[in-house]
Amino acid sequence: MERTHVLICAGTGCTSSRSLELVKRFEEDIKFKELDKEIKVIKTGCFGLCQKGPIVAIYPDKVFYSHVALSDVDEIVSEHLYKGRPVKRLEITDIDENTKEQIFEFEKIRFYAKQKRIALRNCGLINPEDITEYIALDGYQALGKVLTTMTPQQVIDEVKRSGLRGRGGGGFPTGNKWQFAANQVNDQKYVICNADEGDPGAFMDRSILEGDPHSVLEAMAIAGYAIGSNHGYIYIRAEYPIAVERLKIAIGQAKEYGLLGENILSSGFSFNVEIRLGAGAFVCGEETALIASIEGKRGMPKVKPPFPAVKGVWGKPTIINNVETFANVAPIINQGADWFSAIGTEKSKGTKVFALGGKIVNTGLVEVPMGTTLREVIYEIGGGCPNMKNFKAVQTGGPSGGCLTEAHLDTQIDFDNLVALGSMMGSGGMIVLDEDNCMVDVARFYMDFIVDESCGKCSPCRIGTKRMLEMLTDICEGRGTLETLDKLEQLAIHVKDSSLCGLGQTAPNPVLSTLKHFRNEYSAHVVDKKCPAKVCKSLLDYSIDKEICKKCGLCAKGCPTTAITGTLGKVPYEIDPAKCIRCGACVTNCPFGAIIRA
């Protein structure tokens, strides 16, 4: 009987930092010390605090180790697992603001203290490749409950009462979507899990599938029972190999245990799940484009109505929810709609998972109740901007969202508040920007992404976004004028109002929000021909402070165009602006800070 579990993150982030080698080393060391009958090593999904990976947690001791290297394994096994003395230098710690003492229990650490994990409830706690561990934490209990004690309509009513809204971006009420499909009279219906997740910097759905795939399979079966479907598809991008492999394992185990397949739990209800791999097209996150891709066609959106709930994949009634939405279903069935609806705000119930990234101390996954403020997420959970830099903006919703400023930090996060401010919840990307970010360049970055990902079906998106990118490039390279700004804003509004699908309709959001909140930066680019953040290379002038210059020649040595001249040890170096290509190599090479960018 094992007395201790060693949980090691085997999500994509930690795996890239050699966490699987840690698993092997722990197993070898534990066996060598003849502790293998008492201690079990478990591969888990993401713990959330990605910045601290690779992460190793020891249960039931509740010790949380960060940045664990192979060279640390022997010390942890010898000192902690054998002698019972935790290795303090590797523990994640925090400071209690009242006692000023160090906190080691990771539930009390600020990164976790304000979180409420529902969708992420099992991530980091169980082996995602072992169905028995999921079952031990009430897994498939909800499916058993609905099949034995609830009618399909009662299931839909419970989801409706919970107030669960789709976590994929639009925030449409999940119960209503299920009701539309249930009302259709047809010989075949389908359930689709949208695991495409194409937003730059977003990895919420991937992490849930890597850490808790059965939570999605169970919810899809419940949805199938509710609407009268016996078949489901998980549409997931091929760039998620770990998630795909664990889904395959989970589907096989669920079938073996009689929890998927024919006559589940002897109830007469059957439900099967297939995996469909996407090639990475961002537009396939849009439901009708996703359906086209599943059918083997080019992923392009269609005009709605008819909506998928009426006419979806193969022309049959279809419901589409994303991974996070499904991950909330089993807890709602188990604990009741009233429990779930008591969390969050009046119109946005439950929690939301965010991928917190960019200029932030604690990058990673966070799950907070709706109504939590941006300030709490960025400063109390995320730890603020590193290196004492000033916060400038936060981009929510990825390419479909907008930038919010310091004035919005006390905004409660929910679907409606973010839309009212010109941004959106989206699937949950949250990118923090500091004083060193140029907001014009940020808008250009997202527009470049959208242009590349546009399917080209409708003219406003195909042509309009391309013209917007050209204008943003002109502004960043010093060719923009005040007239350019006016044309950019007018075109952005036109694209937003006339594009066919959600991709084009939301594509202008980063442009419109940055024009609204940071118009002074745009003006500096077109009037003063300067980039206040010193990011746009074409608007920078490089020079050398002769008082600081040590005449070492390192700047000239790294210059690719021989634009820097001087005499080693004798004459200070200087830059010829006609030859300078503003690559920044001299700034990188000078250890004395003598290079001036203006």
pLDDT band for position 99 (50/70/90)? very low
Q: What is the pLDDT of residue 100?
A: 45
Q: CA-CA distance, 267 to 265, in Å (whole number)?
A: 5
Judge if 131-339 and 439-528 fold alike in CATH terms: no
Six-digit token pair at 128?
């995602």
* Distance in angstroms (rounded) separating the CA atoms of residues 9 and 380: 24
Q: Torsion-angle region of residue 169: left (phi > 0), alpha (psi -120 to 50) or beta? A: left
| Tokens, residue 362 | 């604690």
CATH, domain range 351-434:
3.10.20.600
Q: Which amino acid is at 1?
A: M
Percent share of the chain, pLDDT over 90: 84
pLDDT tens-digit readout, 457-482: 999 999 999 999 999 999 999 999 99
| Torsion sign across C-alpha atoms 20, 22, 23, 28 | positive
- The dihedral built from the CA positions of residue 395, 401, 406 and 410, taken in this order, carries a sign that is negative
Cα–Cα distance measured from residue 350 to residue 340, given in angstroms and rounded to the nearest whole number: 6
pLDDT of residue 573: 94
The CA-atom distances, in angstroms, between 75 and each of 8, 89, 317 are 16, 11, 58
Largest CA distance in the chain: 90
- Give residue 429's pLDDT band: very low, low, confident or very high (50, 70, 90): confident
First-last CA distance in the chain: 67
pLDDT value for 427: 77
Please determine, for residue 582, whether its predicted confidence score (pLDDT) is greater than 60.
Answer: yes
Angle at 445 between CA 373 and CA 459, to 5 degrees: 105
**What pLDDT is recorded for position 101?**
53
Which CATH code of 1.25.40.10, 3.40.50.11540, 3.40.50.2300, 3.40.50.170 fits the domain covering 131-339? 3.40.50.11540
- Cβ(432)–Cβ(382) below 8 Å: yes
With contact defined as beta carbons under 8 Å apart, do 595 and 580 qualify? no
- Asked if 226 and 145 touch (Cβ cutoff 8 Å), the reply is no
Per-residue confidence at 94, pLDDT binned at 50, 70, 90? low
Q: What CATH number was assigned to the domain covering residues 4-110?
A: 3.40.30.10
User: In whole angstroms, what is the distance from residue 118 CA to residue 287 CA?
Assistant: 25
Let me know the angle formed at the C-alpha of 363 by 358 and 364, rounded to the nearest 5 degrees: 125
Q: Which residues contact 228 (CB under 8 A, 6 or more apart)?
A: 152, 182, 189
Q: What is the pLDDT of residue 108?
A: 66
CA distances from 529 to 79, 487, 534 (A): 61, 18, 11
Whose tokens are 């959330």? That residue is: 48
Q: Scanning the structure block, which residue is given the tokens 């997931």?
A: 236
Average of per-residue pLDDT across 163-172: 89
Q: Beta strands 4-9 and 56-59: pairing type?
A: antiparallel
For the entire predicted model, the pTM comes to 0.92
Per DSSP, 412 falls in state B
Report, in this order, helix, strand and coil percent for the chain, each rounded to 5. 45, 15, 40
- Which structure tokens are listed for 133? 């561990």
Q: Nearest 5°: phi and psi at 402?
A: -140, 175
Query: Which residue type sits at 58?
Result: I
* Burial class of residue 488 in the structure, from the number of CB atoms within 10 Å of its CB (0-12 exposed, 13-18 middle, 19+ buried): buried
CA angle 465, 292, 427 (to 5 degrees): 60
Residue 405 CB partners (closer than 8 Å, separation 6+): 392, 393, 517, 518
Residue 205 tokens read as 């759905």
pLDDT at 96: 53
The answer to whether 349 and 340 are in contact (CB under 8 A) is yes
Just give the CATH number of 439-528: 1.20.1440.230
In the numeric block, which tokens belong to residue 64?
């949380």
The C-alpha atoms of residue 377 and residue 428 are separated, in whole angstroms, by 13
Q: What percent of the chain has a predicted confidence (pLDDT) above 70?
A: 97
500: DSSP letter: S
Q: Which of 486, 484, 449 is nearest to 466 (CA)?
A: 449
User: Residue-wise over 350-386: b if at least 16 C-beta within 10 A, else e?
Assistant: bbbbbbbbbbbbbbbbbbbbbbbbbebbbbebbbbbe
Question: Does the pLDDT at position 503 exceed 90?
Answer: no
Q: Which residue has tokens 């080691």?
A: 104
- Please check the confidence at residue 147 and state whether its pLDDT lies above 90: yes
Which tens digit of pLDDT belongs to each residue from 480-496?
A: 999 999 999 999 999 99
pLDDT digits over 295-325, tens only?
999 999 998 899 999 999 999 999 999 999 9
pLDDT (tens digit, 9 = 90+) per residue, 335-374? 999 999 999 999 999 999 999 999 999 999 999 999 999 9
Identify the helix (H) or strand (E) that includes residue 465: helix 465-476
Q: How confident is the model at residue 103 (pLDDT cuts 50, 70, 90)?
A: very low
Number of Cβ within a 10 Å radius of residue 348: 23
Q: Look up residue 181 and give its DSSP letter.
A: H
| Class of CATH domain 541-597 | alpha beta
Q: What pLDDT, on the 0 to 100 scale, is given for residue 105? A: 57
What residues contact residue 76 under an 8 Å CB cut-off, 6+ apart?
26, 56, 65, 68, 87, 90
- Ranges of each domain in the chain: 4-110, 131-339, 351-434, 439-528, 541-597
